[in-house]
């Protein structure tokens, strides 16, 4: 017994498949309308394509807007991506406290990479005050 899929669901699956197989122009064509309609998975992938000029001209402002929208919708990978943008100053101004906020959101959903990135930030104390005890606990939580 098969379940009927809507055209939007099919376009999302097709767009994700095109993205995964590096057919970025096709992925842009399929995912952009879905991103504009508020689909977080599409927004996340459109952000990556805009940030890196995959299937389109690089557009940092648009990349940031898509990543932020997907992160605010609760997509853990986008929360990590937005934290990274703030940490590195890519597509936006560098902002340690904002990076921490978004890495914490992603870590709360189980992304170990966000835990280790947070631990490193606290260990180094570059964008936020150094806190070696917090870093140790985060590394431990991440399984190190």
- Asked whether 90 and 60 are in contact (CB, 8 A), the reply is yes
pLDDT in tens, 73-107: 999 999 999 999 999 999 999 999 999 999 999 99
pLDDT at 1 over 50: no
Kindly state whether residue 45 falls inside one of the protein's structural domains. yes
| Token pair for 62 | 């648009």
Tell me which residue range forms the domain holding 35: 7-73
pLDDT in tens, 28-72: 999 999 999 999 999 999 999 999 999 999 999 999 999 999 999
Instruction: Domain count for the chain, please give it.
Output: 2
Same domain, 67 and 96: no
Same domain, 141 and 81: yes
List, in sequence order, the alpha helices (H) in 7-95: 7-20, 24-36, 40-52, 60-72, 76-88
pLDDT in tens, 111-139: 999 999 999 999 999 999 999 999 999 99
CATH number assigned to the domain comprising residue 106? 1.25.40.10
pLDDT in tens, 16-28: 999 999 999 999 9
pLDDT at 3 over 80: no
Same domain, 69 and 31: yes
Same domain, 96 and 124: yes
* Domain-terminating residue out of 73, 104, 120: 73
* Domain-terminating residue out of 73, 96, 122: 73
| Token pair for 72 | 């605010």
- pLDDT at residue number 10: 87
CA distance 24 to 50: 10
- Asked whether 127 and 121 are in contact (CB, 8 A), the reply is yes
User: Quick one: how many helices (H) and strands (E) in the chain?
Assistant: 8, 0
Distance of CA 111 to the CA centre of its chain: 11
């Amino acid at each position: 017994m098969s379940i009927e899929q809507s055209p939007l669901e099919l376009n999302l699956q097709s767009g994700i498949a095109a993205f995964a197989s590096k057919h970025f122009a096709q992925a842009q064509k399929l995912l952009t309308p879905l991103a504009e309609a508020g689909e977080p998975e599409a927004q996340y992938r459109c952000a990556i394509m805009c940030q890196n000029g995959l299937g389109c001209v690089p557009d940092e402002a648009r990349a940031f807007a898509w990543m932020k929208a997907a992160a605010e919708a609760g997509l853990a990978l986008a929360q990590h991506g937005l934290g990274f943008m703030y940490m590195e100053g890519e597509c936006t101004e560098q902002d340690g406290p904002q990076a921490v906020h978004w890495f914490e959101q992603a870590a709360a959903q189980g992304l170990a990479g966000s835990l280790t990135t947070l631990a490193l930030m606290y260990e180094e104390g570059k964008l936020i005050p150094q806190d070696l005890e917090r870093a140790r606990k985060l590394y431990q939580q991440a399984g190190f």
